[in-house]
């Protein structure tokens, strides 16, 4: 199998609000949109984020009323403190303060208008961080 692109699709109440949040605060650009649907991308993200309006008839019946929950959009960044300061200056509420995990991950979280959690992450360079890096990163 060869994967040519990746996307995560999230059911939300207000597609335009989530789309605008990613565009304004994370420099995503809308690639496609229609009533109840938006697909956003960044050249450097490696995946698209798709928002679907809850109840959309094109979704399977057992998924139509589901809401994005129990997941986190995590973006690894180079300057975590700089991103934190930028988002605070833009008036974005920080819903989880900058946290350092024992395995070396440093992260903070925000939420979009529909409650979708966006987490910004970096690794602090410790030995634990190197051991916890996602598979394949050591080969880069």
Instruction: Please report, for the chain, the start and end positions of each structural domain, with discontinuous segments joined by +.
Output: 7-122
- pLDDT at position 114, please? 94
Whether residue 133 is predicted with pLDDT greater than 50 in this model: the reply is no
Of the listed ranges 3-12, 30-39, 72-81, 122-131, the least confidently predicted one is 122-131
Strand segments (E) across the chain: 7-12, 29-34, 37-41, 48-53, 72-76, 94-100, 105-111, 117-123
Residue located via tokens 């997941």:
71
| Predicted TM-score (pTM) of this structure | 0.82
The answer on pLDDT for 131 being more than 70 is no
For 18, phi then psi, to 5°, come to: -65, -40
pLDDT at 47: 87
Model confidence pLDDT, tens digit, residues 98-112 = 999 998 899 999 999
More confident residue, 103 or 18: 18
CA torsion sign for 127, 137, 77, 73 is negative
Distance CA 92, CA 21 (A): 10
pLDDT given for residue 78 in this prediction: 92
pLDDT recorded at residue 31: 96
**Structure confidence by residue, pLDDT tens digits, 68-94:** 677 899 999 999 999 999 999 999 999
Alpha carbon distance 2, 14 (integer Å)? 33
Q: Give me the mean pLDDT over the 2-7 stretch.
A: 89
So what's the architecture of 7-122 in CATH? Roll (3.10)
């Amino acid at each position: 199998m060869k994967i040519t692109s990746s996307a995560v699709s999230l059911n939300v109440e207000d597609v335009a609000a989530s789309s605008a949040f990613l565009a304004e605060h994370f420099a995503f650009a809308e690639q496609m949109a229609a009533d109840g649907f938006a697909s956003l991308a960044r050249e450097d993200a490696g995946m698209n984020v798709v928002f679907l309006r809850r109840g959309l008839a094109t979704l399977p019946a057992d998924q139509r009323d589901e809401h994005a929950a129990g997941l986190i959009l995590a973006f690894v960044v180079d300057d975590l403190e700089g991103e934190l300061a930028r988002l605070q200056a833009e008036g974005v509420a920080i819903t989880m303060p900058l946290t350092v995990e024992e395995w070396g991950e440093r992260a903070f979280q925000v939420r979009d208008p529909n409650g979708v959690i966006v987490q910004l992450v970096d690794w602090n360079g410790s030995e634990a961080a190197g051991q916890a890096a996602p598979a394949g990163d050591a080969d880069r």
